[in-house]
Amino acid sequence: MKKEFRLEHLGFCGILSLLSYAAMVFISPIAYPGYDWLSMAVSDLSAVGAPSADLADRLNALFGPCGLVSIMAVCVAVSCQDCKLFKIGIGLFAAMEWITNIGYKMFPLVANESMSSFQNVMHIVVTILVVLLSIASLICIIIGARIDGLSFISNWALICFLMMFIGVLGTGIAPKNLFGLFERLSTFSVVIFNCILGVYLLRGDLNNRG
C-alpha cells in the first residue's frame, strides 16, 4: 500500500543538510594543501580562489536547499502551538537560515583580497547578522518551547546556544591558532539544531500541543 506524503517527511531534509555541511567541513580540506582546521575558518574552504572551493561547493550543495525546506516545514508544523514566543523563535531561526543562504552566496569570502575589501566586509556583516539572529532565535525557543511543554526542544536549544556562546566567545578571546576550533562550535550549533528540529518534525512531535 502506497504511503501518503506528509509534511513531517520533509524533516528528513534537515538531516541531509547536516550531512552535506559536515561532508564539506571534514572532506574539503584534502583539496586545500596546508589547511589548518584549528586556526582557519570554515569559509576559507569555499572562498573565491581557494583550491578547495569547487569540492566544497559540491559537497555543500544540499546544505542550503535542504535546510530551508526543513525549517519552513517546521514553521508550518509549529503554527498550532500556543506560545507566541516559541513561534517567533522558529521564525527568527528560519530568517537566519535564509540570510545564511542568500548572504553568503552574494558575498562569499575572497581568499586573495584584503579583509577590508567590500566583498569581505559584506561577508563579515552577513556573519554578524547570522550570529545575532541565531542567538535571538535560540533564546526565544528555549523559553517558548518550555512554556509550550516542548522541553525536549528547549533542552536542545539550550545546548546549541551554549555551543554558540562558547564558539563566539572563543573566537574573540582565544589564541588565533584556535580560531577554527571555536568557529566550528558556533557554526555547527545552528546546523545541528536545524537537524534536530527536522528529526522531531519527522517524529510528529512539533505539531502536537504541549
Tell me the CA distances in angstroms from 160 to 43, 134, 137, 143, one per residue in order.
20, 10, 11, 14
pLDDT score at 114: 82
Name which of 207, 197, 199 is nearest 97 in CA terms. Answer: 197
Alpha helices in 84-150 (DSSP H): 84-106, 118-147
Q: Quick one: pLDDT at residue 1? A: 47
Low-confidence ranges of the chain (pLDDT < 50): 1, 210
Give the CA-trace dihedral at 152, 158, 161, 165, to 10 degrees.
-160
Q: What is the pLDDT of residues 65-108, one digit of tens each?
A: 999 999 999 999 998 888 899 999 999 999 999 999 999 989 98
The alpha-carbon radius of gyration of the chain (Å, integer) is 18
Q: Taking the complete model, does pTM exceed 0.85, yes or no?
A: yes
